[in-house]
Structure 1
Amino acid sequence: MTNNDAQPQLLFHIAEHDRWKACVDSGKYSPASLATEGFIHCSYERQVQRSLDKFFASHDEVILLEIDPVLLRSGLKVEPADGDSFPHIYGEINTDAVVVAELIIRDGNSRLTFNGR
């Protein structure tokens, strides 16, 4: 396999349950950060647990969106943040780019846990 044949990494976005549910029927999803920061925060698989722990520790449940970047209609940039590089989507997420929407609830240790793919 050459680099030209490599599959792009899947993107992950942690969504609040009610916000995701309200947007599904419209075919497009936009969290508050799109309006306040101009982009949607995403993670690569290896970064998901860190994002859950840092930004969603007070939530009882979230929806983890797995996004195929090839299907994404909005712009995508990988930018430095917190000593790492994170994907940011500059525009709404078209819901047909979401290949998995997984409910994550607190585990026995009262933690939102992502077990990876």
Structure 2
Amino acid sequence: MTQVPHVYHIIPKADWDVAQQEGVYTPVSIQTEGFIHCSNLLQVLGSANLFFKGQTDLLLLKIEVAKLQEKLVYENTTGGTELFPHLYGKLNLEAVNHVYTLDTHEDGSFMLPQELNH
């Protein structure tokens, strides 16, 4: 898979607030699955609508791959063929170069932030 310059992570605003206070983001998924789930830009909406439908107060982190301190692996852990970026370790906050609000349409489905719609 071709290395992309950015990956994205969906995060509840409350978790992002804690990460900023602690200076690092270490979600529960590191203990339960061993990694942080990320997506490429084309995967964001599918992941959001599948795993976060009905939730509010979500943010989308734009992460600069070159600034990550932990290993990023593209893999499929659910048996399909689509590969997803997984960060094996904590997220160092200096790798996050933009934080977007993840808004929804009237039907509750998520929409990409305007700046990311190409």
Structure 1 equivalent of residue 98 of structure 2: 100
Aligned residues: CA RMSD = 1.8
Structure 2 equivalent of residue 52 of structure 1: 48
Paired with 1:21 and 1:96, the residues of 2 have a C-alpha distance of 15
Identity of aligned residues (%): 31
Report the TM-score, using the length of structure 2 for normalisation. 0.85
Asked whether the 8 Å contact 2:70–2:89 carries over to 1, the reply is: yes
Structure 2 equivalent of residue 80 of structure 1: 76
Which digits, 9 at most, give the CA deviation of each residue in 1:39-90, with x for residues without a partner?
0000000000000110000202311001001000011111124320000000
Query: How do residues 33-52 of structure 1 correspond to structure 2 at under 5 angstroms?
Result: 33-52=29-48
CA drift of 1:7 comes to 7.2
Return structure 1 stretches of 4+ with deviation > 4 angstroms: none
Paired with 1:23 and 1:63, the residues of 2 have a C-alpha distance of 13
- Matched residue pairs, number? 112
Paired with 2:73 and 2:99, the residues of 1 have a C-alpha distance of 22
